[in-house]
Chains A and B, each alone.
Chain A
Amino acid sequence: DGGITQSPKYLFRKEGQNVTLSCEQNLNHDAMYWYRQDPGQGLRLIYYSQIVNDFQKGDIAEGYSVSREKKESFPLTVTSAQKNPTAFYLCASSRGAASTDTQYFGPGTRLTVL
């Protein structure tokens, strides 16, 4: 059963703590993405990676970090520097970097900072 998995589904964090969100895909896709979704604001790009060991900042990268050590994995760390981290986080992947390569999204992780 191919697809994208994100874990955990719900995550609670205390202020000042770093937390890592998992994203795994078994679609053999080269490109992976992280988005943040807030009510009324659509999807905003945090980071994306077109190949292993390479990634680029998106529109709202401040306070986040990523790694791409394996093709199938693209974890996102929300650091304590992120001022308003409570949001729904979506991971996606696509076969390649072309604009017409369909993005497939995971089920998301809802992060709440207490």
Chain B
Amino acid sequence: QQQVKQSPQSLIVQKGGISIINCAYENTAFDYFPWYQQFPGKGPALLIAIRPDVSEKKEGRFTISFNKSAKQFSLHIMDSQPGDSATYFCAAGKLSFGAGTTVTVRA
């Protein structure tokens, strides 16, 4: 069974807009929540990560919001750029990944 549920499966956003991807997990033992970015034909690369004792983490245009009580976390991409077009995966712990969200940024 999938331990991490990710939505939406895909989204399209205009350049300059905000992309929001949501994830929910089940196991409260997870202590690390990374997000990965993957371009077509390439391997994923770590984008940003958060520990459960923090409610928000921001790195440049990328922000993770974390709600421990709801067991949910989300990735916000501010001022989305065409170069952000990629597939994004959330993960809980090291080995449990969401199904991925394909983000397309229209110029």
Contacts and interface: CB of A to CB of B under 8 A. Distances in A.
A105 B32 contact: no
Chain B interface, DSSP helix/strand/loop, else mixed:
loop
B89 interface: yes
B4 to A, nearest CB: 8
A104 to B, nearest CB: 8
B97 A101 contact: no
Interface string B8-43: 010000000000000000000011101000000111
B31 A90 contact: no
Contacts, number: 53
Contact of B43 (A44, A58, A106): A106
A78 interface: no
A103 B42 contact: no
A84 interface: no
Interface of B: 2, 4, 6, 9, 30-32, 34, 41-46, 49, 51, 89, 93-95, 97-100
Q: Which 7 A-B pairs have the closest CB atoms?
A: A105-B43, A99-B32, A42-B99, A43-B97, A42-B97, A99-B94, A99-B93
